[in-house]
Amino acid sequence: MGLTRRTRIQNALVTLANSTDFHPVQYADDGTASTLDSTTVRPGIAIANEITARYERDKRDGRSLTRTKTSWVFQLIMRFECEVSLEEFEESLQDNPPVVQDDDGKQIALLEILGMDVIHPVQQNAENGTEAKINFEAFTGRG
C-alpha cells in the first residue's frame, strides 16, 4: 500500500495534533479563567482531509486547456474532552509551518495555516470539550 501526497499530508496533520500537548482551561468560582500549566492533554479525536482544490488554466501551454492546481486546502479537526487553550499551538503553526516529507526526506508540501474555527464548551461543568477546525493551504511546488 503506497502513500500519495494527499495521504502523507493527512497523516502529517493527524500526527502533529496527536503529538502536541495542550493546556486545559479551568474556571474559578467568580468565572475567571486560567490555564493549568502543569497539566497537559491531547486531542481525543484528530482527523484530517482535503476540503478544496482550485485550478486555473496553465499559462505555459499557450492555447491548451491544461489546468494547474493553484490552491489545495486541508482541514484538521481536533476534539478534546475538556476546554483547552489553543494559543501556543496557533503560534507554533505561524512561526514554523509544518513541512511534509517523502520517505527520502524530500519536502513535498509546506502547510500554512489559513484560519481556525473553534467551539469551546459552556464555561464550568461542561460535558464536552473544545473542538477546533483548522484550515491549511498545502504548497507542493507543483504547477
- Which of 75, 69, 68 has the alpha carbon at shortest distance from 51? 75
Residue 54 has pLDDT above 60, yes or no: yes
pLDDT at 58 over 80: no
101 vs 49, 122, 137, CA distance in Å? 17, 39, 16
Sheet containing strand 107-119, edge to edge, reads 45-57, 67-79, 131-139, 107-119, 99-101
Distances in Å between the Cα of 44 and the Cα atoms of 19, 47, 59, 83 are 12, 10, 45, 12
* CATH code of the domain containing 60: 3.30.2000
Q: Which domain holds residue 11?
A: 5-139
Domain count, the chain: 1
pLDDT digits (tens, 9 = 90+) for 71-113: 899 999 999 999 999 999 999 999 999 999 999 999 999 999 9
pLDDT in tens, 21-31: 999 999 998 98
The chain-wide mean pLDDT, for the chain, equals: 90
